[in-house]
A = this chain, B = another copy of it.
Amino acid sequence: MKEKIKNLTKEKIFNYCIKDFAKNGYSNVGIRKISKETGLSTGAIYYNFSSKEKIAWFLYDSATELVLNKIKTAIKKSTNGIEAIKSIISVLFQLTEENLHLMEYVLYVKHKDFLPGVPPICSSKPFEYIKRFIKTKIKEGVFEDMDMVIASSLIMGPIIRVIQLKMDGILKEDLNKYTEPLFNGIVKSVYRNQI
C-alpha cells in the first residue's frame, strides 16, 4: 500500500528495498548500500526504521496487504465460483506485470530466513483468504468434493508456477495471455460440472 506511506524517506527506502531484497536477497543488501542508492544517510534510515529487520517487516506487511485487497475485490466482483477463479488468476498476473518486485518479494523471498516467526507465505493473509473461498465453494458443490490440500494445490499451484517462470526470466511474454488457457486447465481439474 504505497499510497499509505506519507513519509517520503520511508517511501524511498520501501521502493528501493523491495527491489533489491527481491533481486539479491536480504542478506546481500546492507545498510550502506541502501544508504548509497537512496541518497539517504544511515542516520536517516535508522531514524525511520529501528532496525534492518523492521524494514523487511514493513515490506512484508505492506505487500501482503496489497495482494490481499486485490484478491478480495477480485472475488467480490465475481458472480460465481468459476468466474472468481479466473479473476484471481487475472489479478495475480496483472499484479506481476505491473509490480514484479512486489510479487517477487511476496512469493519468492524466503522470509523466514530473516523474519523470525513469520508465517510461511501460503499461510499469509491473502492465501488464507483464497483457501477459505475454495472451502466454501466445495461446500456449495461448485467444486468437486476433494481434500482441501488437493483442491488448493490444483488451483494455486499452476498459477504460482507460471508467475515463478516469469520471475525466473524464463517467460518473457505478458502473463495476461496465459490467463485464459491456464484457467481452462484448472477448471477441468476441479470443476464439478464438466463443461
A124 to chain B, nearest CB (A): 11
Q: In the complex, which residues of chain B have a beta carbon less than 8 angstroms from the beta carbon of A169?
A: 120
- A120 and B168 form a contact (CB under 8 A): yes
| CB contact list, A144-162 vs B, under 8 A | 146-147, 149-150, 152-154, 156-162
- Looking at A109, A114, A159, A188, the one whose CB has the most chain B CB atoms below 10 A away is A188
State the oligomeric state as a number of copies. 2
In the complex, what residues of B have CB within 8 A of residue A27's CB? 25-28, 113
Interface residues of A (CB under 8 A from B): 24-28, 108-110, 113-114, 120, 122-123, 146-147, 149-150, 152-154, 156-162, 164-165, 168-171, 178, 181-182, 185-186, 188-190, 194
User: A146 CB to closest chain B CB, in angstroms?
Assistant: 6
Q: A109: shortest Cβ distance to chain B, in Å? A: 8
Residues of B within 8 A of A186 (CB): 154, 189
The residue on B at minimum CB distance from A183 is B150
